[in-house]
Structure 1
Amino acid sequence: MSRVVLRSLELADAPALTAYRNHPDVARYQGWRLPYSLEEAEALISAMRNRVPGQEGWTQLALADALSGELLGDFAVRGEGEQAEIGVTLAPQAQGRGLALEGLCRLLAQLFGSPGLRRVYASIDPRNRRAASLLSRAGFRHEGTTLASYLHRGQWTDEATYALLAHEWSAHHTQENPSP
C-alpha cells in the first residue's frame, strides 16, 4: 500500500504550505520570494482549482500522507505540449523517508500514462544534491549544466537539467516493478 497520495491542494493546506515554504533549508534553492505569506499560499491554492497536471502552464499538486491526509509537500508541473517541467518541495519532517520518490513515481506514471507526455524534465541548482539524487533514483538522466544562467535572489547561479523520456520511464519502471 502506498504511503502517499497526490491530490489537489486544499485551503486547509495553507498553514502547512506556508510553514515549509518559509523553512530556510526548504526554500534555499526554490524560486518563491521570502517571507512566503499565508495569503500567498491561499492565493496559490485558489489558482490551482480545476488544474490538471500536464496541461499548459503551471499546476501545483499536494503530496499528502495516504492515511492522515497531512500535507507532506508539493509537486509543480508545467505542461509544454508533449513535455512537462516538474519541481518538488518537501516539508522537513517528511524528508529522508523515500516519500518524495514514491510521490514522484506516482506523478510520472500519471504524466506518461495520460496525457501521454513524451518527456519530463527538471531544472535544479546543482548544489541541491538531494534533488539530484531524487531525480537519479527515479530514472532521470543529467543532460547538462549551464553556468551562471539563472538569476536566483540577486545572484547568478548554475542550472542543471535532468530529463526522462517516456520509453526510459517505461523501461526503468518495468525493471523496478516487474509484472508477476
Structure 2
Amino acid sequence: MTTLHTPRLALRPLTPDDLPHVLAYRNDPEVARYQGWPLPATPDSVAGLVSDAPLGAPGWVQRAITLTGGELVGDVGLNTQGPQAEVGVTLARHAQGHGYAREALHALVTHAFTDLGLHRIHASIDPRNTPVAALLTRLGFRHEGTSLQSYLHRGEWTDDALYAVLASEWTA
C-alpha cells in the first residue's frame, strides 16, 4: 500500500488503532459542519475507512494524515472513477490553519496525476466553506460552477460548488 511523504506529513493507510481519533474529529461539530457524512459518526461508519485498497482503486480510498512524529491529524481521500477522481480532506480542529491540508492535497493530487496517470481531479464543496474554496484555488483548481440548493444536507437545501484541475494544468 502506498504511503506518500511530504516534508512534514505522511499519508498512510488508516488502521483500526486510528479509529478512536478519527471518530473524535469527525464528530466535532466545527469539523463536520460542511462534510457529507451523517452525524453522529459511529464506530461502524468510520471502520469502513480502513482498507488495504491502493490509491487509484475504484471508489473512495482514505489515507491518514500524520505528522512526521506519528500524530494523526486528519484524513484525505481519493474517489477514483476511471481516468478521473474526486478528492476530499478532513482535519482535526487543532490541526487546521497550519498548511497541512494544502500539503496533503498537493501530495495526493501529484501522485494521482504523476503515478496513477489520471486525467482530471475534482472536489465538490459547500461554497460557505470559504477556507477550502481558497485552498483549492491556491492549489490551481478552477471553480467550474455552483449548483444551487442541489442536495439536502442535515435538513437544509445546500449549494454544491465544483472545483477541478486537469493533469495538463497541474504539470504546467
TM-score range for the pair, normalised by the shorter chain length: over 0.9
For 1:15 and 1:149, the matched residues in 2 are separated by 33
For 2:125 and 2:153, the matched residues in 1 are separated by 11
List gaps (5 residues or longer) in structure 2: 1-5
Q: Which runs of 4+ in 1 moved over 2 A?
A: 37-44
For residues 113-155 of structure 1, give each alpha carbon's deviation from its aligned partner in whole angstroms, at most 9, with x where no partner exists. 1211000000000000111011111111001101111221222
Determine the structure 2 residue equivalent to 1:10: 15
Return the TM-score normalized by structure 2.
0.92
Q: Deviation of residue 12 (structure 1)?
A: 1.3
Determine the structure 1 residue equivalent to 2:3: none
For 1:60 and 1:151, the matched residues in 2 are separated by 24
Matched, 1:161 2:166: no
Tell me which protein shows more helix as a share of its residues. 1
Q: Deviation of residue 14 (structure 1)?
A: 0.7
Determine the structure 1 residue equivalent to 2:93: 92
| Stretch moving more, 7-16 or 118-127 | 7-16
Q: CA RMSD in A?
A: 1.2
Determine the structure 2 residue equivalent to 1:55: 57
Matched, 1:41 2:41: no
Q: How many residues align?
A: 167
For 2:109 and 2:45, the matched residues in 1 are separated by 27
Determine the structure 1 residue equivalent to 2:73: 72
| Equivalent AA in structure 1 for residue 42 of structure 2 | S
